[in-house]
Amino acid sequence: MLTIPPFRGLGGLKIMETIKLSIDKAFGFVSEQAVAGYKAQIAEANAALHNGTGKGSDFLGWLNLPTSIDDAFLSDIENTAKILRENCEVVVVIGIGGSYLGAKAVIDALSNSFDWLKTERKSPVVVYAGQNIGEDYLYELQEMLKTRKFGIISISKSGTTTEPALAFRLLKTQLEEQQGKAAAQKLIVAVTDKARGALRTLAVQEGYKTYVIEDNIGGRYSVLTPVGLLPIAVAGFDIRQLIAGAVKMETLCGTETPFEENPAAQYAAVRNELYKSGKKIEILVNFHPKMHFVAEWWKQLYGESEGKDNLGIFPASVDFTSDLHSMGQWIQEGERSIFETVISIKESNNTKIFPNDESNLDGLNFLAGKRVDEVNKMAELGTMIAHIDGGVPNLKIELPKLNEYYLGQLLYFFEKACGISGYVLGVNPFDQPGVEAYKKNMFALLEKPGFEEETKAIKARI
Ligand code: PA5
């Protein structure tokens, strides 16, 4: 049984709210009847997920995950987070793709944008490594860590991915040199497969605290496992509220909810119909810069799940209003192969009233007394109308507020809709055979033992 504390700053009733999906602004581009026509197919896809009869059914561990999480599991994660929080100024989360994007999405969305500048901090700064092989990035990271107490959360399901393995070797060595082997052992946590992979072998040998990524949960569906939960707890956020939000969506997006009231079903139906009508690109839009990495997480989820067999909507993203001054032109008047899904946040967490200025030299007194969020909301509304007029269907997902509870809802909603949508499209939404191609070439070029034939073949081509 999960204990969920009363929500910070919200009354008991508000916890009942849910994120809201509006698809009516897609009608006119695709018909309401055509979308309703997916009802039976969506019910079948949803049932296939729950019965485990669809493609990739070995990877459905995420499906009932929120309702299966218990107190003891969360307490254990909170205790590990506490050790890192008490002993580190910086915690480096090492991972790539599904092994870091979920944590970064939630941490960025919930963090004060300038908190990292504060000298008096309640939580360690969470930084990331292993998501690139940039030499300057790693050099600068290691230089920064030289004068800081730091810890490492090393995340890799396979335990063999090159980018995080490379970063881990560098940072583990540095931590041991700075703190001594015994102290370093207590400041390293490994999240990996229960038995296989180099990271598991190393963790067992070195005696690190470990968490398991279950075999039946793919990287991009793992944000609600220790992969996401541990870094999020280290950053000081409430993982119980995150899970509570996901539990709410697990129920709402289940097979019992009628098609018309099931947001995952509605989203899956409308985006498949838009795709069929020639809208091959979906742009996830936000009007709050903190949401940038939620879109990065979403792009991985949908891109890796649907982009195969020469099919799939191309998932893109923009941060508005910034990108209205760059990509705005293309969206308004470029090829009409796009639709937008806007993530809208109903109520900002802070208030900023625009001041009056007697001289009004900037001509902005018409905004005096208004909240900055009102200006942002009018930009959002004005953009939606302009883009619809320009031939871009708009979907909207509204979060009542930006907090753990509604983010938990959003994450699970997107996961569930992705599973359903992939089945409707006819692909296996849980594999990613295409990501192996670059690895094979990279290993061949680097002359990795075991790749001798590939090395010969690729060298003949360059
Ligand atoms: O979604 C996925 O499966 C991938 O993006 C993986 O998460 C990514 O490749 C990292 O793999 P691993 O966790 O095995 O290091």
Could you tell me if the CB of 305 is within 6 A of ligand 1? Answer: no
The mean per-residue pLDDT over the stretch 148-166 comes to 96
Mutation choice for ligand 1 from 58, 59, 96, CB with most ligand atoms inside 8 A: 96
CB 247 within 8 A of CB 2: yes
Instruction: Look at 104-108, 155-159, 167-171 and tell me which has the smallest mean pLDDT.
Output: 155-159
Q: Give span(s): CATH 3.40.50.10490, the chain.
A: 10-56+257-430, 65-237
CA gap 402, 404 in Å, rounded: 7
Could you tell me if the CB of 130 is within 6 A of ligand 1? Answer: no
pLDDT for residue 401 is more than 90? yes
Could you tell me if the CB of 432 is within 6 A of ligand 1? Answer: yes
Catalytic residue flag (residue 439): yes
CATH architecture of 10-56+257-430: 3-Layer(aba) Sandwich (3.40)
Could you tell me if the CB of 197 is within 6 A of ligand 1? Answer: no
Residue 436 pLDDT? 84
CATH 3.30.70.20 for domain 65-237: no
List 163, 250, 273, 304, catalytic entry: 304
CA gap 126, 157 in Å, rounded: 20
CA gap 430, 453 in Å, rounded: 30
CA gap 303, 281 in Å, rounded: 11
pLDDT for residue 5 is more than 60? no
pLDDT tens, 93-110?
Answer: 999 999 999 999 999 999
List 122, 325, 436, 453, catalytic entry: 325
pLDDT for residue 8 is more than 50? no
Q: In angstroms, what CA-CA distances link 298 with 19, 76, 418? A: 16, 28, 10
Could you tell me if the CB of 225 is within 6 A of ligand 1? Answer: no
pLDDT for residue 315 is more than 60? yes
CA gap 253, 275 in Å, rounded: 22
Instruction: Match 């010969």 to its residue by tokens.
Output: 456
CA gap 78, 21 in Å, rounded: 32
**CA 157 to centroid of ligand 1, rounded, Å:** 7
CA gap 151, 183 in Å, rounded: 10
pTM of the predicted model as reported, rounded to 2 decimal places: 0.95
**CA 132 to centroid of ligand 1, rounded, Å:** 13
Residue 206 pLDDT? 97
Atom from ligand 1 closest to the CA of residue 164: 15
With H, G, I as helix, E, B as strand and everything else as coil, classify residue 331. Answer: helix
CA gap 16, 409 in Å, rounded: 11
Could you tell me if the CB of 154 is within 6 A of ligand 1? Answer: no
With H, G, I as helix, E, B as strand and everything else as coil, classify residue 123. Answer: coil
CA gap 262, 267 in Å, rounded: 9
Could you tell me if the CB of 341 is within 6 A of ligand 1? Answer: no
CB 84 within 8 A of CB 91: yes
The mean per-residue pLDDT over the stretch 104-124 comes to 93
CB 80 within 8 A of CB 201: no
Task: Tell me how long the chain is.
Answer: 462
Q: At what angle do helices 452-459 and 436-445 cross, to 10 degrees?
A: 90
Furthest C-alpha separation in the chain: 76
Atom from ligand 1 closest to the CA of residue 218: 3
Residues 6 or more apart whose CB falls under 8 angstroms from that of 39 comprise: 259, 269
Residue 119 pLDDT? 83
pLDDT for residue 358 is more than 80? yes
**CA 100 to centroid of ligand 1, rounded, Å:** 9
**CA 164 to centroid of ligand 1, rounded, Å:** 10
**CA 222 to centroid of ligand 1, rounded, Å:** 10
With H, G, I as helix, E, B as strand and everything else as coil, classify residue 429. Answer: coil
The mean per-residue pLDDT over the stretch 350-362 comes to 97
Could you tell me if the CB of 157 is within 6 A of ligand 1? Answer: yes
Residue 116 pLDDT? 84
pLDDT bucket at 462, cuts 50 / 70 / 90: confident
With H, G, I as helix, E, B as strand and everything else as coil, classify residue 114. Answer: coil
pLDDT bucket at 120, cuts 50 / 70 / 90: confident
Mutation choice for ligand 1 from 100, 160, 161, CB with most ligand atoms inside 8 A: 161
How is residue 371 annotated by DSSP? B
Q: In angstroms, what CA-CA distances link 114 with 248, 262, 460? A: 31, 37, 51
Q: What is the mean pLDDT of the chain?
A: 95
Return the bridge partners of 449, or none. none
The mean per-residue pLDDT over the stretch 371-392 comes to 98
pLDDT bucket at 10, cuts 50 / 70 / 90: very low
The residue whose C-alpha atom lies closest to atom 15 belonging to ligand 1 is 156
The mean per-residue pLDDT over the stretch 395-413 comes to 98
pLDDT for residue 12 is more than 50? no
CB 122 within 8 A of CB 86: no
The mean per-residue pLDDT over the stretch 65-87 comes to 97
The residue whose C-alpha atom lies closest to atom 5 belonging to ligand 1 is 97
Could you tell me if the CB of 97 is within 6 A of ligand 1? Answer: yes
The tokens for 14 are: 């508000």
Backbone phi, psi, residue 77, to 5°: -65, -45
CB 4 within 8 A of CB 391: no
- For residue 297, give the nearest of 376, 400, 415 by alpha carbon: 415
The residue whose C-alpha atom lies closest to atom 8 belonging to ligand 1 is 97
Backbone phi, psi, residue 37, to 5°: -65, -15
CB 415 within 8 A of CB 102: no
The tokens for 317 are: 């993203």
**CA 160 to centroid of ligand 1, rounded, Å:** 10
The mean per-residue pLDDT over the stretch 326-343 comes to 98
CB 442 within 8 A of CB 162: yes
